[in-house]
Each structure stands twice: as structure tokens, then as C-alpha cells.
Chain A
Amino acid sequence: MTIVSRLFAAALVAGSSMALAAPALAAGGGEKPPRQSWSFYGPFGTFDKAQLQRGFKVYREVCSACHGIEKVSFRNLSEPGGPGFSEAQVKALAAEYKVKDGPNEQGEMFERPARPSDRFPKPFPNPEAAKAANNGAVPPDFSVIAKARSYERGFPIYVFDIFTQYQQQGVDYITALLLGYEEPPAGVKVEDGLHWNRYFPGNKIAMGNPLVAVFDDAGKPNDPNFYTDGTPVTKQQVAKDLSAFLMWTAEPKLEERKRTGVKVMLWLILLAGLLFMLKKRIWSRLDEDAPAKAH
């Protein structure tokens, strides 16, 4: 078999019959995530700034060791429609990170503190390093992960979604995944280096439960003052805050988009109304000369 036909066979098998994924799913995996309520839902939805700040804290203290947000710049954190940190806060925050720059006049690369205009540095210098540190799996970048994850809505629900504007599959899934770590059902063997998750497609996920960094075995927070704004530290809250933050990293212009959309819609409705009246008026001329009536 040549490489061409082999690729074709692979792609067509995977693409058309789902032969690879279906047995895994059928073997008991990946429940549909429950629906959560989000402040950014609907045509007038906006991000909850405090939630984004809390989510950023979770990201920074729990996820960032393995998962980058390499498409996000520090300056984005103080831009409108985001977590709303002050420019001074962002400057101080960026300075805590080191980025590689150069070459300098001696032709050498050097490290310097990050500036707000820099993007977040990657946690690993290359995919090989990421693999070596993570049991052979590369932790995905989180910049657009909230738009890169989804689940099947199924017919006819996805038709209704057009009208309800439901599009939070990604954040619902991330929240569910974070809360979905469980003991495997009796008789199911989970290989070393894998973990059982109720919502992960195929159920066996390489990532360990990340929330153990915040909660003890009994589900109590290690630090009751993990959140500084008084929000109760619960698993559900932490999962949702992180998900909301990841929605913002994936769609930083969400608020600007929706605001513009409302204006555009109002303008179009007005224009359509005027044009409809104009159309009626122009076509009513036909009544006067009415060639057909004379006929």
C-alpha cells in the first residue's frame, strides 16, 4: 500500500465510520456535560470581571505549570471586556515572568522581565519537553480551548440552538471535566498514568485531577481564603471561574462583538422598516397607471 492510499484509508475510516472513536465511546465514555449558567450568555451577556480575576488566579496557581495561554498578552488583562486589572497591576504581574529576548549587541540571547506587551511565556520550550515531563502527553495550550472543545448536541436540538444562542458547549464541558474525576466503575481497569473521568471522551484521561491542588481529599479547601473577594471556595465555583476565564482567553472581544451586534441589529431593523414602507409606496404607483386594470 502506498502512503497515499494508506492516508486515504486512514482518513476515510476515521472520518466516515468513526470506527476508531465509536468503540471507545460505546465502551462507556463521555457523558454529556450538564448545562451551567453563564454571565456571558445571550445577546446582552458580559463577562463577570470578578469571576475572570478569580479564574485567572486558578489558572495561574493550578494550570499554568503545564498549560500555556501563549496567544494572550499580559496587556489583554487590563483591556476593556476582560478581567479589568489596572495597568499598574498588569505591569507588576508581567515583571514576575521571565521572557527570552535578543540577540543583544554582543549577539547573545538574554532573559529579561516580561512587559505588558509580551505574550504569556510557554510552560515548556518545545513539545518534546512537554511530553517528557508529562508521561508522553502534551498538555494543550489553553488560549482557545473553550472554543476547541464541544460535544454533540444532536438533532433537532442544534436547530433550536440557533434561536436560543446556546453556544457554551466548550465551557460546560470544561467545568464538567474538572468536576468529573471519580473512582472507575467496578471491573474497569484504568492503566497507570491514566485517570477515570466521567465526562472525558473515552473516560480515561492522562491529566490527573487538577483540583487536588486546591482541595483536600475530603473536598475542603486547603486554604479557605483562596479567594480574596469573599467568594466561597467550592469545587463547583473554582471549576466555573476557570472555565469563564478560558472563555475570555478564547474570545477576548466577546463583549465588543455583542455590543456592536445589538447596534447593528437595531440599525438594520430600522432600515428594513423604512425600505419596506418605501417599497410599498413605489409599488403602489402600479395602481395608478394599472396597465392590467385597463386590460
Chain B
Amino acid sequence: MGEHHSTYVPKTGIERWVDARLPIVRLMHDSAVSYPVPRNLNYFWTFGGILMMMLVSQIITGIVLVMHYTPHVDYAFQSVEHIMRDVNYGWLMRYAHANGASMFFVAVYIHIFRGMYYGSYKAPRELLWILGVVIFLLMMATAFMGYVLPWGQMSFWGATVITNLFSAIPVVGESIVTWLWGGYSVDNPTLNRFFSLHYLLPFMIFGVVILHVWALHHVGQNNPSGVEVKNYAKDTVPFTPFATVKDLFAMVCFLMVFAWFVFFHPNFLGHADNYIPADPLKTPAHIVPEWYFLPFYGILRAVPDKLGGVLAMFASIALLAFLPWLDTSKVKSGAYRPAFKIFFWVFVVVCLFLGYAGSQPTDKAVLTLGGRVVLDMVGFGQILTVYYFAHFLVILPLLGLFEKPLALPASIADSVLASTGHGHPVGAHASPEK
């Protein structure tokens, strides 16, 4: 499918003058007003907009926090408390930023799983998907380094554990770790470079997001039927006002969840140990990463070999980039793939359990029979890890070959008719006052 051609008509002399020299208004009009959106999108498609909102929110709160924060091992913890106590609305900025990171990941995980369910990575959207994986990686790096900045116990020991992963690389590993630290342990140089990079990476994310949106607007959005747009007049609606108002409504609903945590439960998603100033001589009893890293941490710990664990963890993320070629099915949407649908939900549950396994002590019993531990957390994590990889490397390639998909609708408009019996999507009803 090609790009729809521009419908922008400059009305005034000034607009014509600008348009002839720098068609920026035309660009904005074409991408945010007249851009055709499949009319059958459900609310899972609003998370792209929600993610954009969260990125902007994180950048704004972050910039304000930097005005009051001191990146030094002796003052960082103190300066965060200064923000909480002495800066006007400092508590709001910090809690919005800390919980904002969590909300960002909530939204991105829903966004990713939506893409997986509806096959949004399939041709012609492979690059769009891969750019998304790049954004996800950058987000993880940014979040990890941001968590180090308050210089609490979890900041310090989390940084120590994660940077030490690189020492698993043969021969050069330990030199790399020393280089990352800027010394022989996690210390002031480490904090300073993490601060610098934590400020840089969000703008890199922003850059890749622009590419992501560009690719999206070039190939057009996927939709719940997975059938491409055939007739713009019948299958699509203009972005404004249709998608704009729907996205706004979804954003406000998401903000309510966000506000619940920020105002009423601000430390729920954090860890109490991070309110203890970093102490290199005292290891916390239980080092856990933030919740959004737990599934990957679960994979890391499942492999008994250090290098193997590190490779498995990175592979589990890198694998996502190959998804467009690992899924061999010609049918995009999971709605028309009865077997895939089951495996998809099993995969979601496996990811959740991996997160649980990552949060628990490894020697904890999962299954006991007659007083004997038959399965501990390590074993549980290993089973889940094997399934995680099997989903991508065995199940998806084979499913496409053996599964018998349901009959696809002839067009998006047809799928809408079939699902509601009316000429409009679910949720849109005629209002009597019109």
C-alpha cells in the first residue's frame, strides 16, 4: 500500500508562502489530521499515543529534577531528599518520574503484546517492529541507569550486579567492566557517566520514535482483522477527529492509573532498600531489579553458567527482532488463528511467571511432594526459560505450517459489518441528539 497523497490546502497567503518554502504545516496536517486510520482499531491501539505522552512526561519531569539533583556519591541521596522536602512540588516531580518509568513499561508491554497478537510485525512492517525493539532496548538502558541515580542500596547493588554481567565475556570481560565503572568498583565516576547517559538516551529514544512513527505512517497501521486497507473511503477514517478523540480518552484513563500510584501509592512499585543510602560494605539480603526487568532477570538466573545466563538474557530480547521471520504464518491477526491464540496466551502467562521466578529467592520451593522439594525456583525458571525460547524458535515457525486459519474477511469494512451488524465499529452508537 502506498502513502495517501496530501490533502492539505493552504488557505491564506502566509500559509501558501510558508508551504512553498518549508511544508511543515503540510507535514503536520498529513500526519496528524488527514492520515487515514483503519476504522476497526480497538483500544489496544491507543497505547502508541499513551507511550508518546509518557515519553514527554518523563522528559519534562526529568528536566525539572535535574535542576535540583546533585550527581555525586556524597550528595545524590541527600539531593533527592532535598527535592522531596524543600523543592516546591518536588515530591510530585520525583514520584511522577519514578512511577512514570513503571507506567511507561506497563504501556510498552501492552503495546508489544498487542503487536504480537495481531501480527503487526509482518510484512510490510518488519522495520517498524525492529525500530520498536530498538526503542525497548534504549528504554531498558535508560530505566536501569535512572534507578542508579538516587544512590540508595538497590541503586548501588543493582548497578554492581548488572555491570558485572559484562565480566562474563571471555578474555576482555573484566577490562570492559573496569572501563564501564571508570575505576575498580561502582563509584563516583560510574554515577556521573550514568547520569550523563540517562540524560542523553531519552533524546535518542525520541529520535528512534520519530523513525518508528515515520515507518508507521509510510506502511499504515495494522488492524484487528490483519487485512490491509483496500479502499480508503470504506476502510479508514481520518486521524482527526476520530483517532485523536479516542486516543485522548484512552490517555486520560491511563493517567488515572498513573495518578493512583503517584498520589496514593508512590512507593509501591519501588523497593524499601532504596531509601537506605548506598553502602558498598553492606550487601542487601535480596537484590532484585525493578519489576519490569524481572522476566529477563528470571532468564538470567535460570542458566547455571554465568556467561550462558548473560547470553540467554540478551538473546531473549534480541530474538524479538527476528519475530517477523520466525512466524511463518501468512495470516496476520491472531483473531483468525485458533491455535496461535492459545499459544499466545500461554506465552503471556509464561512471561508473567518468569517475572515471578525472577523476584523470588532461587532456593524457594515451588512444588513439594511428601515433604520433598521436587521443584525449586531455579528449576521453575528453567522450565519457563525453555518454553520462552521454544515459543519463538519452535512453536511459531511450526504453527504457520500446520495451523488451519479461519476465513479472513474480504476487507476491513466487511470485518466491521460482521462484528457489529451495523455500519460502525463497536462502541460507536448513534446519538439521538444528532
A contact set with B: CB distance below 8 Å: 2-5, 7-8, 10-12, 14-22, 43, 71-73, 76, 140, 143-145, 147-150, 155, 161-162, 165, 167, 169-170, 201, 250, 252-253, 256-258, 260-262, 264-265, 268-269, 271-272, 275-276, 278-288, 290-295
Q: State whether B81 touches A283 (Cβ < 8 A).
A: no
Q: In the complex, what distance in Å separates the CA atom of A273 from the CA atom of B420?
A: 24
Q: State whether A253 touches B284 (Cβ < 8 A).
A: no
The reply on B363 being an interface residue by CB < 8 A is yes
The 4 tightest CB contacts between A and B, nearest first, are A261-B263, A15-B287, A283-B428, A21-B285
Chain A residues within 8 Å of B174, by CB: 2, 4-5
Q: In the complex, what distance in Å separates the CA atom of A19 from the CA atom of B272?
A: 20
The reply on B97 being an interface residue by CB < 8 A is no
- Closest Cβ–Cβ distance, residue B15 to chain A (whole Å): 26
Q: State whether A260 touches B263 (Cβ < 8 A).
A: yes
Residue of B whose beta carbon sits closest to that of A155: B356
Most buried by B among A250, A252, A285: A285
| Known interface pairs A21-B285, A144-B275, A279-B245; A291-B157 also in contact (CB < 8 Å) | no
Chain B residues within 8 Å of A15, by CB: 157, 161, 283-284, 286-288
Chain A residues within 8 Å of B275, by CB: 144-145, 147-148, 250
Which residues of chain B in 256-295 are interfacial with respect to chain A, using CB atoms and an 8 Å cutoff? 256, 259-260, 262-268, 272-273, 275-276, 283-288
Which residue in B242, B283, B423 is a CB contact (below 8 Å) of A11?
Answer: B283
The prevalent SS among residues of B at the interface is helix
Which residue in A14, A201, A279, A283 is a CB contact (below 8 Å) of B287?
Answer: A14
Chain B residues within 8 Å of A264, by CB: 259, 263
- Interface-lining segment among B84-92, B103-111, B313-321, B389-397: B84-92
Chain B residues within 8 Å of A278, by CB: 245, 249
| Known interface pairs A147-B275, A272-B252, A280-B429; A22-B363 also in contact (CB < 8 Å) | yes
Chain A residues within 8 Å of B424, by CB: 283-284, 286-287, 290, 292
User: What band does the interface of chain B fall in when counting residues whose beta carbon is under 8 Å from A?
Assistant: 35 or more
Q: In the complex, what distance in Å separates the CA atom of A295 from the CA atom of B422?
A: 11
| Known interface pairs A12-B161, A292-B417; A18-B363 also in contact (CB < 8 Å) | yes
Q: State whether B363 touches A17 (Cβ < 8 A).
A: yes
Which residue in A3, A257, A282 is a CB contact (below 8 Å) of B241?
Answer: A282
The prevalent SS among residues of A at the interface is helix
Q: In the complex, what distance in Å separates the CA atom of A73 from the CA atom of B306?
A: 47
Q: State whether A272 touches B233 (Cβ < 8 A).
A: no
Q: State whether B423 touches A287 (Cβ < 8 A).
A: yes
Chain A residues within 8 Å of B288, by CB: 15
Q: State whether A7 touches B285 (Cβ < 8 A).
A: no
Residue of B whose beta carbon sits closest to that of A277: B431
Most buried by A among B234, B260, B356, B363: B260
| Listed A/B pairs (7) with beta-carbon separation below 8 Å | A3-B185, A11-B157, A12-B306, A15-B161, A18-B285, A18-B363, A268-B256
Q: In the complex, what distance in Å separates the CA atom of A35 from the CA atom of B429?
A: 49
Which residue in B255, B256, B286 is a CB contact (below 8 Å) of A18?
Answer: B286
Which residue in A4, A20, A73, A257 is a CB contact (below 8 Å) of B283?
Answer: A20
Chain B residues within 8 Å of A144, by CB: 81, 275
Which residues of chain B in 119-153 are interfacial with respect to chain A, using CB atoms and an 8 Å cutoff? none
| Given A7-B160, A280-B431, 15 extra CB contacts under 8 A | A2-B174, A4-B177, A10-B283, A15-B161, A16-B287, A20-B283, A22-B361, A257-B95, A258-B264, A271-B252, A272-B252, A275-B252, A290-B423, A292-B417, A295-B417
Chain B residues within 8 Å of A280, by CB: 427-429, 431
Which residue in B167, B262, B285, B356 is a CB contact (below 8 Å) of A261?
Answer: B262
Q: State whether B164 touches A14 (Cβ < 8 A).
A: no
Chain B residues within 8 Å of A276, by CB: 249
Q: State whether A268 touches B249 (Cβ < 8 A).
A: no
Chain B residues within 8 Å of A21, by CB: 285-286
| Known interface pairs A10-B283, A275-B249; A4-B256 also in contact (CB < 8 Å) | no
- Closest Cβ–Cβ distance, residue B70 to chain A (whole Å): 14
Most buried by A among B157, B167, B178, B249: B249
Q: State whether B81 touches A71 (Cβ < 8 A).
A: yes
Which residues of chain B in 8-40 are interfacial with respect to chain A, using CB atoms and an 8 Å cutoff? 39
Q: State whether B264 touches A165 (Cβ < 8 A).
A: yes
Residue of A whose beta carbon sits closest to that of B363: A17
Q: In the complex, what distance in Å separates the CA atom of A162 from the CA atom of B266?
A: 11
Chain A residues within 8 Å of B209, by CB: none
> Residue-by-residue, is B217-260 near A (CB-CB < 8 Å gives 1, otherwise 0)?
00000000000000001100100011001101100110110011
Chain A residues within 8 Å of B276, by CB: 140, 148
The reply on B184 being an interface residue by CB < 8 A is yes
Q: In the complex, what distance in Å separates the CA atom of A149 from the CA atom of B274?
A: 10
Chain A residues within 8 Å of B253, by CB: 272
- Closest Cβ–Cβ distance, residue A267 to chain B (whole Å): 9
The reply on B323 being an interface residue by CB < 8 A is no
The reply on B434 being an interface residue by CB < 8 A is yes
The reply on B61 being an interface residue by CB < 8 A is no
Q: State whether A252 touches B301 (Cβ < 8 A).
A: no
Residue of A whose beta carbon sits closest to that of B232: A291
Q: State whether B242 touches A253 (Cβ < 8 A).
A: no
The reply on B1 being an interface residue by CB < 8 A is no
Q: In the complex, what distance in Å separates the CA atom of A88 from the CA atom of B389?
A: 68
Chain B residues within 8 Å of A148, by CB: 272-273, 275-276
Q: State whether A284 touches B429 (Cβ < 8 A).
A: yes
The reply on B425 being an interface residue by CB < 8 A is yes
The reply on B362 being an interface residue by CB < 8 A is yes
Chain A residues within 8 Å of B425, by CB: 283, 286
Q: In the complex, what distance in Å separates the CA atom of A252 from the CA atom of B87?
A: 12
The reply on B416 being an interface residue by CB < 8 A is yes
| Known interface pairs A76-B85, A295-B234; A7-B185 also in contact (CB < 8 Å) | yes
Q: State whether B431 touches A17 (Cβ < 8 A).
A: no
Residue of B whose beta carbon sits closest to that of A150: B272
The reply on B413 being an interface residue by CB < 8 A is yes
